Structure 1
Amino acid sequence: MTRPASPVLVIGECVADIVRSGEGPDRVHPGGSPANVAYGLARLGRPVTLLTELGPDANGRLIRKHLESAGVLVRAAEVARTPSAVVELDGQGRARYTFDIRWTLPPAELTEPPAAVHLGSIAAVTDPGAASVLALVEHLHGRTPISYDPNVRPALMGDRAGAVRRVERCVALSDLVKASDEDLAWLYPGERPEAVAERWLALGPSVVAVTLGAEGAFARTAEGGRVVVPAVPVRVADTVGAGDSFMAAFLHARAGGADLSVCLTRAVTAAALTVARPGANPPSAAELAAALAEADGRES
């Protein structure tokens, strides 16, 4: 009998995204960067456990149902209320967030070693819960592949120097790091994304990938490799969850043994599918495969 694959462990926040566009009533979407990555991985067929916090409220029930519908195993500590964020969209569908969130994750123990660990965003740098996250990641460091996406939220990061220290601690614990050019611009004003990628590689990761919005994405490796891929042209509904879809597709491809160019191509395609529809709605495996096949047909 074939033993089921161990799940990927994603650690981090769930957030109810209250999307406000000025056109009609507010819409509530399940969100939170790590939760979106977990959902995206599950949609692509990867077994996933999400270690998180949820409240016993309507938003918590909505998020749990959403995650479980894709097959995510939700392991949630109960808090008084589920975190939320008002998401205001500009004319180009770009999102600006106003958060109502605390992160208090208690120490956690694992019943089995995960296939990989992903951490990110608010949960990796916000005390008191960040201490539990980092203790678990430090325990697994060197034995389990670890990925990290800072997904910077300036309003929650405190002073820049302290935020950089906390982010770089997570980078140093990771094998794969992904960030957006906007993340890097806030953390390191005036520095080129390529230069920051080099700085982070020196801290320990084997791969650093950077998304560039409409310019696509690039990745650098510790061995000196560099891959660049263009963005997929798409009509943008909103950008909510695009980076998380990128991360999920990249991790899924990399776990399957794909080379760096293939990982990036699948990731930018998944992100394009996500921005073409409202909310953090990443593609299924079938949708991603169809989009990649269509792109191959256009190029042949």
Structure 2
Amino acid sequence: MTVPAPRVLVVGEALVDVVPDPGGQPRDLPGGSPANVAITLGRLERDVRLVTLLGDDQRGAMVRQWLEASNVRVLAQTTGSGRTSSAAVTLDASGAASYVFDLDWDLHEVPHEECDVLHVGSIATVLDPGADAVLAAVRTHRETALVSLDPNARPAITPDRTGPVARVEELVGLAHVVKVSDEDLHWLHPDRDPVATATRWASMGPGLVVVTRGGEGAVAVRAGGTVLEVAGVPVAVADTVGAGDTFSAVLIDALLGLGVAGAGSGEALGALSDEDVHAAVRTAAAGASVTVSRPGADPPDRAELTAVLARQAGAAAE
């Protein structure tokens, strides 16, 4: 009997990043945190659908084509403005990106789609009116799917942290897996140590909370309070656009490979050994290292991810 491939549903924004080229001239590149997660999973040959909003314009057509080229099935509603959302990207000397958004997120509901994994995150989880539809989808799927969350704080969109913090904490309590950067945690809870916040979050419902720290690696906190350190991957950084999204997607892929999906995901996640969890997070870091090594949100495909893992294993054996 053939076991059906796990179905992944991603809900969130797809947009155009307006990124300076090497000469400093702006260029349109498709992006958006949830869209980048969907792209990565598509390139890893997962069955993935993206619920999003796109304008009926040239940018919307470009974003759709980009998604479909990586085998993402696009379930797009039309933006109220008719325009596809955009983000003006500024890169600092280290390649780290900051964003100024022109965003339309008037998603009214998430269409009913059966899935084994639901991933949500970024602006879509905190910007009204669409944020309520995202929360409703998480509540609907929590008992039947692995729920993955990446808060991906965007102060430019929500400068007052009161509402976003409350919504993020509510979603954390409903998620099975949370991936969050140390920068996001510093913004959400500026007076608290990021790992301490992750440890508190891991006691609220998730089986795993992973804090990414750029080149310094990641810290994984399990529901019982176990803390696992994962070393960074040395790489020449082109820019950081899409790196965290790649990490989220490869982590989902690795957990699917360990059989964590569908109903009972919380129990399956809790039953994993620390070695399995460490390996999954290490694999996610390897995937992100590919993305930061080249411009824009350009995550690895399955062959590229396999190759970088093989190189790492070879180096560790020397």
Instruction: Place the TM-score, normalised by the shorter chain, in its bin.
Output: over 0.9
* Separation (CA, whole Å) in 2 of partners of 1:21 and 1:89: 10
Aligned equivalents of 2:280 and 2:76: distance in 1?
30
In structure 1, distance between residues paired with 2:62 and 2:222: 39
Matches within 5 A, 1:10-89: 10-20=10-20, 23-79=23-79, 80-89=82-91
Residue 265 of structure 2: aligned partner = none
TM-score norm. by structure 1 comes to 0.96
Does structure 2 conserve the Cα–Cα contact (< 8 Å) formed by 1:21 and 1:88? no
Q: Secondary structure at the match of 1:63?
A: helix
> Equivalent residue for 1:94?
96
Contact preservation (8 Å) 1:12, 1:52? yes
Structure 1 counterpart of 2:262: none
Quote how far apart the aligned CAs of 1:24 are: 3.6
Q: What is the distance in 1 between the residues matched to 2:37 and 2:97?
A: 18
1:171 & 1:59 partners in 2: Cα distance? Answer: 33
SS of residue paired to 2:156? helix
Q: Any gaps of 5 or more consecutive residues in structure 1? A: none
C-alpha contact (below 8 Å) 2:6/2:46 kept by paired residues: no
Indicate whether 1:291 and 2:293 are aligned.
no
Residue 261 of structure 2: aligned partner: none
Q: Deviations over 1:227-259 (max 9, x none)?
A: 211111111110000000111111100111081
Deviations 1:147-176 (A, max 9, x none): 100011101124122221011011111000
Say whether the 8 Å CA contact 1:250–1:266 is kept in structure 2: yes
Report the CA distance between 1:224 and its aligned residue.
2.6
Q: 1:107 Cα shift?
A: 1.5
**Shift, 1:298, TM fit:** 1.1
Runs in 1 of length 4+ with deviation above 4 angstroms? none
User: What SS is found at the alignment partner of 2:236?
Assistant: coil
State the partner residue of 2:200: 199
Q: CA deviation at 1:23?
A: 2.5
Aligned length: 299
Q: Distance in 2 between matches of 1:226 and 1:10?
A: 28
- After TM superposition, the structure 1 = structure 2 runs for residues 141-180 of structure 1, keeping only pairs within 5 Å, are 141-180=142-181
- The 1:22/1:44 distance shift into structure 2, 3 A limit, reads closer
CA contact (8 A) 1:21 1:89 kept: no
Percent of paired sites with the same residue: 48
Counterpart Cα distance in 2 of 1:144 and 1:18: 34
Structure 1 residue 73 displacement after superposition: 0.4
Query: Pairwise mapping of residues 1-16 of structure 1 onto structure 2 (< 5 A)?
Result: 2=2, 4-16=4-16
Deviation string 1:175-198 (CA, Å, 9 cap, x unpaired) is: 000100000000111311110011
What is the letter of the counterpart of residue 110 of structure 1?
A: H
- State whether residues 53 and 77 of structure 1, in contact with CA within 8 Å, keep that contact through their aligned partners in structure 2: yes
The one-letter code sitting in structure 1 at the alignment partner of 2:71 is G
For 2:64, the aligned partner's letter is: R
CA-to-aligned-CA distance 1:252-273 (integer Å, 9 cap, x gap): 0011108111111111111111
1:92 is displaced (CA, Å) by 1.0
TM-score (norm 2): 0.91
CA distance in 1, matches of 2:217, 2:27: 29
Distance 2:224 2:144 in 1: 21
Alignment deviations for residues 90-141 of structure 1 (CA, whole Å, 9 cap, x no partner): 1111111010002011213324x20110000011111101111111211112
Q: Distance in 2 between matches of 1:22 and 1:70?
A: 26
Three-state SS of the structure 1 residue aligned to 2:203 is helix
Aligned to 2:245: 244
Report the equivalent of 1:270: 287
In the alignment, the residues of structure 2 paired with residue 109 and residue 30 of structure 1 have an alpha-carbon distance, to the nearest angstrom, of: 23
Q: Is the 8 A contact 1:38 1:248 kept in 2?
A: yes
- 1:53-88 CA distances to partner (integer Å, 9 max, x unpaired)? 001111111111111011100000011111000001
For the pair 1:138 / 2:155, whether they are aligned, the reply is no
